[in-house]
Structure 1
Amino acid sequence: MSDLLERLRRRGWRMTSQRRVVVEALDGDHVHLTADEVHARAARRLPEIARATVYNTLGELVLLGEVVEVSVHGRAKRFDPNAHHPHQHLVCTGCGTIRDVRPTATPAGLPERERYGFTVSDVEVTYRGLCPSCSRDLPPG
């Protein structure tokens, strides 16, 4: 299980049954679900959960810095519970699958002459390509 539930407990975040199923829906490796996918997972455990509750809970988790919104061009926003573990993303341009990868770029990696006086605090790198399934679907040639 991701450490999201434990992080929220340490913060003293009020854990209602609705919030709990949303957090549990975000559990797992390489989890980057849309809000609708989170709702579908949560509804399997708590059928009466409202879509608005899921959206509100995700918004609150993002504001708390416990979940990160991941935007993939032309696709619905996704939610990444891996907010406290440095990583970058590998995105399939075919199906939109997202995988977490170890970071290869750091703020210190940008030469001083390229910073234009900025104090760099964060780096976002996204690798794009085709996953094995989408590569297999390409016509030969």
Structure 2
Amino acid sequence: MQHPAELTAAFRANGLKLTPQRQLLFRLLHGNTSHPSAEALYVAASEQMPGISLRTVYQTLTDLVAMGELQQLNLSSGSARFDPNLDEHHHVLCSGCGEVRDVYVDGAEYMGVEGL
């Protein structure tokens, strides 16, 4: 995912509405390794900007995914999670706590690992 200032320019170039709420979401996502859900982002954003709506969070995530700036992960945990890391990698999901982590393996190693 690009730096928040670059995302601001990209949104403008694509004719998308740019608001302080969206800029806050850009900052919360940039470099975020927790693979947050929309709901988790909403909670984090609400702490800094109490008036933000869940609809704004969902729409911003949808726009970022459509622009190729964010990956949407549909894991067995139920709600979608979002990953700003666009490098080639895989994910593992802890069935106990629901934590999602990035896993980097080359093709040869990947073929021999069960469960990935």
Larger Rg: 1
**1:100 aligned partner:** 102
Q: Which amino acid is the alignment partner of residue 50 of structure 1? A: S
Q: 2:2·2:69 contact (CA, 8 Å) conserved in 1?
A: no
User: Where does structure 1 lack aligned partners over 5 or more consecutive residues?
Assistant: 111-125, 128-141
User: Where does structure 2 lack aligned partners over 5 or more consecutive residues?
Assistant: 13-17
1:6 deviates by 4.8
RMSD: 2.5
1:27 deviates by 3.3
2-structure distance, mates of 1:99, 1:40: 21
Structure 1 stretches (4+) deviating beyond 3 angstroms?
none
TM-score (norm 1): 0.65
TM-score (norm 2): 0.77
1-structure distance, mates of 2:85, 2:51: 27
2-structure distance, mates of 1:97, 1:24: 21
**1:138 aligned partner:** none
Q: Secondary structure at the match of 1:66?
A: coil
Q: How many pairs does the alignment contain?
A: 107
2-structure distance, mates of 1:46, 1:103: 39
1:105 deviates by 2.7
Q: Secondary structure at the match of 1:13?
A: helix
Q: 1:4·1:81 contact (CA, 8 Å) conserved in 2?
A: no
Residues 1:61 and 2:64 are matched in the alignment: yes
- Greater fraction of residues in helix: 2
| 1:36-51 equivalence runs, <5 A | 36-51=39-54
1:29 deviates by 4.7
